[in-house]
Amino acid sequence: MKTKHAHALVIGGGIAGLLAARVLTDTFERVTIIERDQLPTGYQERPGTPQASHLHVLLARGHQIFEQLFPNLTEEWIAAGAPTFDHGLHGRTLYKTGWSPRVQSDVIVYGASRMLVEGSIRHRVLKHPRIEVLQGQDVVALVHENDTITGVQLRPRGFNQAPHTISADLIVHSAGRNSRLHEWLAVLGYDQPEKTIVTANVGYSTRSFVTPERMKHEDRAWLILPRPPHIRRGGIMIALENNITTLTLLGVEEDYPPTDEAGFMEFARSLPVPEIYEMIKDATPVGPIHGYRKLENQMYHYDRIKMPKRLLVLGDAYTALNPIYGQGMTVASESAMALSDVLRMYSDPLDEIGVIFQKRLAKMVAGAWMLSTSEDARWPKAQGAKRDPMTRFLHWYLDQVLAVLMNDPITYQTFIQVQHGFKMPTALFQPRTLLRVLANAISPKSRTAGQTPEPHLQTGEVPTL
Ligand SMILES: Cc1cc2nc3c(=O)[nH]c(=O)nc-3n(C[C@H](O)[C@H](O)[C@H](O)COP(=O)(O)OP(=O)(O)OC[C@H]3O[C@@H](n4cnc5c(N)ncnc54)[C@H](O)[C@@H]3O)c2cc1C
């Protein structure tokens, strides 16, 4: 393909930045990624992405886009030892209605750590002849002229020397959840975007173990989800590459899982069912326990302010979601595809592309935002959450679906496909499911078909089964 423009610049070399850089090469002769970290050569952790030690589930829709942008990526994951499994057959989920049934869903999940996913993409980006990555360089400001961003100022990380400037025809900002873009814009005299926060005050603690025997062949993933309004604790455990299994313990409404050894084990023991604790109590730990707090949904409304020309923002810097629902990397990949479409259709001249892209992105992330924030709204102490009649109806409807799927393989299959972005949420409102939902509402079936265990109660709490 003939490229139309000379140089694009990407701020931040995380997942969103790497994917964006890849699609920018279709329209720009040269792409430069500026990343403040020194990047690892393999699949290791790095300071700029502290979330990488925690479990990262890549939804099947995201995986599809990753493969489209980087063909044969999955082969690298499998060669690195990532297990592959069918979500419905080998993923055990404890819903409020009981354990999920075993159903072939045709939704394949890859047990690849975030380090492996990012590292494998990075290898490909670094090999690209027209992408340059400037590592260990901190972007500190935007360069501005006639209402247009013409470049950035950067300096080596950790050095207080005077910054130097790099110019570009388009700047894509993807500096993650703690981005300072709103402050940089304010310095240039632009309005700061409104910021919406919806939070159920979720915290994670994560540790890896040598994969327990039980997770080597079957039951590759365990999802014990917290159950509003009372059961605030959960755990997600997935078999990953290198015979390592990672357990992320999660607590809602500030019931944070501890990061010390004894506290971590005690929290695991207090989960509503014993399976996860039983598997880790004698397992061999690998590495330390990592904590992450303040996992809120946050959105900067860049689509509602007057932005300078030739500046785009995507990834967590635009919208960061509560990660319990596993949407972040998939939204980043869909955003890269939206960028690709907009560049193909509207990049001549480049001046209007920012407005078009931010409006399209706002529409695109609305579904993921609604899912994440409306589920968080089930928690009585959630802040910023809407509890309007529509949200309450969706809660009610989804509860009925969860009851129905216990005894109906097709509904469970559809549910998983919606969860992974293969089907629109409207698939759950198709006549077949709708009729079963209504029948269940009129005459509820036993909810224990999927074998519902009694939860271990935390002091003073009431089970919601
Ligand atoms: C605890 C946790 C668990 C998660 N679990 C999941 C999951 O299960 N599934 C899922 O899909 N998503 C998950 N996510 C979300 C996921 O990590 C992100 O949505 C996704 O990686 C996209 O992030 P990003 O590229 O926008 O930002 P990041 O991955 O955070 O990357 C931003 C990059 O910008 C760099 N940077 C920042 N400032 C500057 C600067 N001034 N100059 C130069 N470089 C800079 C940083 O060093 C970093 O490399 C989780 C997030 C968290 C916090």
CATH number (domain holding residue 241):
3.30.9.100
Find residue 209's DSSP bridge partners: 245, 285
Q: In the block, which residue shows the tokens 């689509």? A: 303
Return the pLDDT at 456.
40
Return the pLDDT at 2.
64
Confidence category of residue 346, pLDDT binned at 50, 70, 90? confident
Residue to mutate, 56, 171, 256, ligand 1, most ligand atoms under 8 Å from C-beta: 56
- Both 77 and 215 in a single domain? yes
Q: Is the pLDDT of residue 22 over 80?
A: yes
Return the pLDDT at 448.
47
Residue to mutate, 46, 54, 118, 333, ligand 1, most ligand atoms under 8 Å from C-beta: 54
Query: Does residue 428's CB lie within 6 angstroms of at least one atom of ligand 1?
Result: no
In a domain, 414, yes or no: no
Return the pLDDT at 447.
52
Cα 31 to Cα 39: distance, rounded to the nearest angstrom:
17
**What SS3 state is found at 252?**
coil
Average pLDDT over residues 344-359: 92
Distances in Å between the alpha carbon of 90 and those of 104, 117, 222? 9, 21, 9
Return the pLDDT at 459.
29
Q: Is the pLDDT of residue 190 over 60?
A: yes
Query: Does residue 98's CB lie within 6 angstroms of at least one atom of ligand 1?
Result: no
- Both 159 and 256 in a single domain? no
- Both 269 and 347 in a single domain? no
Structural domain for 188, as ranges: 5-48+116-196+299-372
In a domain, 168, yes or no: yes
Per cent of the chain over pLDDT 70 is 95
Instruction: Tell me the pTM.
Output: 0.95
- Residues 6 or more apart from 417 whose CB is under 8 A from it? 105, 106, 107, 423, 427
CATH code where residue 38 lies = 3.50.50.60
Average pLDDT over residues 431-440: 94
Cα 30 to Cα 460: distance, rounded to the nearest angstrom:
61
Q: Is the pLDDT of residue 463 over 80?
A: no
Query: 136-163: per-residue pLDDT in tens?
Result: 999 999 999 999 999 999 999 988 889 9
Q: Of 292, 327, 352, which one is at a domain's C-terminal end? A: 292
- Both 155 and 206 in a single domain? no
Query: 60-71: per-residue pLDDT in tens?
Result: 999 999 999 999
Find residue 237's DSSP bridge partners: 222, 247
Q: Is the pLDDT of residue 211 over 80?
A: yes
Confidence category of residue 167, pLDDT binned at 50, 70, 90? very high
- Both 127 and 266 in a single domain? no
- Residues 6 or more apart from 424 whose CB is under 8 A from it? 418
Number of domains in the chain: 2
Q: Is the pLDDT of residue 110 over 70?
A: yes
Return the pLDDT at 119.
97
Query: Does residue 13's CB lie within 6 angstroms of at least one atom of ligand 1?
Result: yes
Query: Does residue 328's CB lie within 6 angstroms of at least one atom of ligand 1?
Result: yes
Return the pLDDT at 218.
81
- Both 228 and 92 in a single domain? yes
- Both 186 and 319 in a single domain? yes
Residue to mutate, 185, 238, 248, 329, ligand 1, most ligand atoms under 8 Å from C-beta: 329
- Both 31 and 134 in a single domain? yes
Average pLDDT over residues 292-304: 96
Distances in Å between the alpha carbon of 63 and those of 60, 79, 84, 121, 128? 5, 16, 12, 12, 21
Query: 214-248: per-residue pLDDT in tens?
Result: 999 889 999 999 999 999 999 999 999 999 999 99
Cα 83 to Cα 91: distance, rounded to the nearest angstrom:
12
- Both 203 and 189 in a single domain? no
Q: Is the pLDDT of residue 175 over 90?
A: yes
Q: Is the pLDDT of residue 453 over 50?
A: no
Average pLDDT over residues 388-411: 95
Q: Is the pLDDT of residue 450 over 50?
A: no
Confidence category of residue 445, pLDDT binned at 50, 70, 90? confident
Average pLDDT over residues 442-446: 77
Distances in Å between the alpha carbon of 55 and those of 1, 30, 246, 341? 38, 34, 7, 31
In a domain, 388, yes or no: no
Buried b (16+ CB within 10 A) or exposed e, 120-158: bbbebbbeeeebbbbeebbbebbbbeeebbbbbbbeeee
Q: Is the pLDDT of residue 390 over 60?
A: yes
In a domain, 79, yes or no: yes
Query: What atom of ligand 1 comes closest to residue 329's alpha carbon?
Result: 11
- Both 288 and 149 in a single domain? no
Return the pLDDT at 283.
97
- Both 86 and 133 in a single domain? no
Average pLDDT over residues 117-135: 97
In a domain, 310, yes or no: yes
Confidence category of residue 116, pLDDT binned at 50, 70, 90? very high
Cα 202 to Cα 56: distance, rounded to the nearest angstrom:
16
In a domain, 217, yes or no: yes
Query: Does residue 113's CB lie within 6 angstroms of at least one atom of ligand 1?
Result: no
In a domain, 146, yes or no: yes
Query: Does residue 204's CB lie within 6 angstroms of at least one atom of ligand 1?
Result: yes
Strand bridging mode 170-173 / 285-292: unpaired
Q: In the block, which residue shows the tokens 């935390």? A: 458
The torsion angle over the Cα atoms of residues 317, 225, 110 and 244, rounded to 10 degrees, is 100
Q: Of 226, 261, 292, which one is at a domain's C-terminal end? A: 292
Q: Of 350, 372, 394, which one is at a domain's C-terminal end? A: 372
In a domain, 406, yes or no: no
Average pLDDT over residues 288-314: 97
Instruction: Give the chain's mean pLDDT.
Output: 93
- Both 218 and 355 in a single domain? no
Higher pLDDT, 456 or 363: 363
Strands (E), 363-450: none
Return the pLDDT at 449.
40
